[in-house]
Amino acid sequence: MISGFTAVKERVSAAAARVGRSQEEVKIVGVSKEQPTEKVVAAVLEGLRDVGENRLQEAQRKIPEVKQQLENAGFDPAPIRWHMIGHLQSNKAARAARLFDVIQSVESVKVANILSRTAVDAGKSLEVFIEVNISNEAAKAGVNPEELIELVGQVKDLPGLHLNGLMAVGPLTQDRDLIRASFERLVELRSDVGELLDMPVDGWELSMGMSDDFELAIAAGSTMVRIGTAIFGPRPSCRIDNIS
């Protein structure tokens, strides 16, 4: 029986091939929210190199535990990149900047400034993405598309930060055409940033696509998919016990 991570790699490869792309063009971020550290370690030993967390408090506990378990298994944890993919409040930004390698959920200049100051103090270069609310859903985080250019202009030259992409969550719908169109919109927004701010963005990451829609995202041009359930299985809190 193949592992969840291996199965996802095969699906990513097939989705990329269908649109004339290679698997190497799409990074897989394993979203380990509420998953036990043993599952994360197993996926890393199978080849996972990017791990995403939604909550700072959980990550503060989990990251050192995973690193220790990897070392105990004789594996150097240094190549593993940890991504903050959940909503980041300003009062938690400094701790996130010290803990993570990548922050995918920047949506305000206030948070970006805190990340910048902390990264400089820590002597690190922190990779950041701007999160865009491409579906304009009130319940979702992210900057509105109309405000993206202004925010990128405020963030792109902050010291200690390496602005390297856009992140988005697809709309909550079963309409695959609508989902696909939202992902295509993020691709267009990346081009708009390059043209309006006269800056190179061809190498920017586009972090879009999750367990239910990552194949659509890859077809639209995603360079990074964030996969939880398809790799690790259902989160423990989502399981329903059978009652006889």
Q: Render pLDDT for 91-137 as a digit per residue (tens, 0 to 9).
A: 999 999 999 999 999 999 999 999 999 999 999 999 999 999 998 77
List the domain boundaries for the chain: 4-233
Q: What is the pLDDT of residue 237?
A: 62
Q: How confident is the model at residue 240 (pLDDT cuts 50, 70, 90)?
A: very low
- Cα separation, 79 vs 64, whole angstroms: 14
With residue 145 as reference, give the H or E element that holds it: none
pLDDT in tens, 151-206: 999 999 999 999 999 999 998 889 999 999 999 999 999 999 999 999 999 999 99
235: which 2 tokens?
């989160």
User: Which has more pLDDT, 3 or 242?
Assistant: 3
Q: Is this prediction's pTM over 0.75?
A: yes
Q: How confident is the model at residue 2 (pLDDT cuts 50, 70, 90)?
A: low
User: Distance from CA of residue 225 to its chain's centroid?
Assistant: 7
> What is the overall mean pLDDT for the chain?
93
Strand partners, 27: 224
Three-class secondary structure assignment of 87-144? CCCHHHHHHHHHHCCEEEEECCHHHHHHHHHHHHHHCCCEEEEEEECCCCCCCCCCEC
Compute the C-alpha angle 152/83/35, nearest 5°. Answer: 145
Domain 4-233, CATH: 3.20.20.10
Q: How confident is the model at residue 235 (pLDDT cuts 50, 70, 90)?
A: confident
DSSP string, 179-224: HHHHHHHHHHHHHHHHHHHT---TT-EEE---TTTHHHHHHHT-SE
Residue type, 127: E
